[in-house]
Amino acid sequence: MSSKLEQLQDFLKETPQDPFLHYALANEYLKLGNEQESLARFVAITEQFPDYVGTYYHLGKLLEKLNRTDEAIIYYEKGMVVAQSKRNMHALNELRGAYRLALGEDEDEDY
């Protein structure tokens, strides 16, 4: 187990309601090549902290990598709703671009 992974798990024990720590841990598992653990953690974040908008993009990209594009599209759509409700235009634009690419559209096309 990596020291960063252990450190994140220790931090999470201290503050289990911090969505960023859950997100960081999911990303660390991904960096270590444990895609299934990362996937499970990203999905859990969307359930436990649905307003944590950064999760949706990374979850969608991981699902695409796992050839689960239909599921990725669903999470991109959910993420766009959250980003819009939070008025996070940067996240909305990133999600919209990923969504369009997943649909096979040109990223610059307008609806």
Taken in order 19, 23, 24, 26, the sign of the CA dihedral is: positive
Domain assignment present for 14: yes
* Residue 94 located in a structural domain: yes
> For residue 111, what pLDDT is reported?
46
Does residue 108 lie in a domain region?
no
Let me know the angle formed at the C-alpha of 63 by 60 and 64, rounded to the nearest 5 degrees: 85
The pLDDT score that the predictor gives to residue 25 is 97
Number of domains observed in the structure of the chain: 1
Model pLDDT, residue 5: 93
Give residue 34's domain range: 3-103
Residues in the chain predicted with pLDDT less than 70, given as ranges, are 1, 106-111
Flag whether 75 is in a domain: yes
What is the value of pTM for the model shown? 0.89
| Nearest in space to 60 (alpha carbons), one of 49, 48, 45 | 45
CATH of the domain at 17: 1.25.40.10
The whole-number pLDDT of residue 101 equals: 97
Residue 111 lies in a domain: no
Note whether residue 109 is domain-resident. Answer: no
81 in any annotated domain: yes
Domain membership flag for residue 48 = yes
